Amino acid sequence: MKLSYRKSPLSILILGGTGFLGQSVVMQCLARGYSVTVCVRGDTPNELPQSVERRIADRHDPLAVAQSLGNGRWDVCIDMSGYLPIHVRQTATLLRERVAHYIYISAVKAFEPPTPHHVAITEKSPTYSPIDETITHIDNHTYGPLKATSEQIVRSLFPLRATILRPQVIIGPHDCSGRLAYWLLRAQGTGTPLLPGRGDDHLQVVDVMDIAAFMMKVIQNRWVGDFNLAGEKVSWLRFVQLLNMSHGQWVASEKIAEAGLSFRELPLYRVKGSTEASYMNIDNSKARAHGFTVTDFSHSVSRYAAWLSENGHRIPDDIHAEWLTPEQEYELVKASAGAVSH
């Protein structure tokens, strides 16, 4: 279906916009001559060009959002900060008659884990059932259902005018999540880094620039519907080789489970066949049929490594605190030495 936009330049409202993905999307919009407004809390350092109009409001305060947006009208709203259904409903209702096209950034965690777990997740896979819209606590159990509920709200308020984008784990410049940074820093460090599993588990990420570029195609072509955005699946053996971590020690997943470690202590690691590993098996064929391109994994890693080096490893302390400690790593590596090898 083709949506009706006003004459150029297109006007874009971004809820969020100063963070990781937001910065890339803003720059892509500006490169195409679009008029860009961002609505943000103002907590994140604002490095956007002066041509970007800023509106300051916290979505926890719907009155402040309404006052900040005023009577503005836009061709497209890109909702990057809609984590809670209560916020999504408030904002989408406010903009229902003032925005032609609503693009909601969801996540692959909106899907229920497939059974069996090795089945790839497609756009036709079932998402979680709606949950109570007043829930505001976000954790590993509520995150997916909250996103799925928000998707349904957007579709109901923007019938035939909504696009749902579900990115895989995003990597690239300005990523301060620490997920890829953990392994890059381990590769550069001294000692023997722990390598999880036996090398035959998989990880799957997506480059931030690929998402931003596809979003421009969605806007230009007025595409509606759902799209899963994911890069190639990569074995941990290939990942380790790419990082030149031949000095590492493989530690069996059973030992990692016995130590009570999860993907928080060992970012990106999901044991093959587990529920969480389902989210490292996302089918991107629908998006690719619509022009989604995937940057070579090695190039994405190299580009992020360069940014990380140039920007002083800007990983928040609370994320550092979740990582596997050097003491834990040493003990696991010592106990596994010679037990698992390649």
Please give the helix or strand (H or E) that residue 196 lies within, else none: strand 194-196
Looking at residue 1, what is its pLDDT? 45
Average pLDDT over residues 103-111: 98
**Integer distance in angstroms from the first to the last C-alpha of the chain?**
52
Closest to 153 in 3D by CA, of 221, 106, 100: 106
Residue type, position 274, single letter: S
Confidence of residue 117 (pLDDT cuts 50, 70, 90): confident
Do 316 and 259 touch, CB atoms closer than 8 A? no
Q: Is the pLDDT of residue 341 over 70?
A: no
CB atoms within 10 A of CB 73: 14
Give the pTM: 0.94
CATH number for domain 179-204+232-334, candidates 3.30.460, 3.90.25, 1.10.3210, 3.40.50: 3.90.25
- The β-bridge partners of 166 are 228
Tens digits of per-residue pLDDT, 298-320? 999 999 999 999 987 778 888 88
- Domain covering 11-167, topology: Rossmann fold (3.40.50)
* pLDDT per residue as tens digits for the range 5-31: 776 799 999 999 888 899 999 999 999
pLDDT at 226: 98
Backbone region of residue 78 per phi and psi (left: phi > 0; alpha: psi in -120 to 50; beta: other values): beta
Please state, rounded to an integer, the average pLDDT across all residues of the chain: 93
Domain residue ranges in the chain: 11-167, 179-204+232-334
Helix (H) and strand (E) counts for the chain? Answer: 12, 12
pLDDT band at 48 (very low <50, low <70, confident <90, very high): confident
Q: What is the largest CA-CA distance in the chain?
A: 67
Q: Residue 170 has what pLDDT?
A: 97
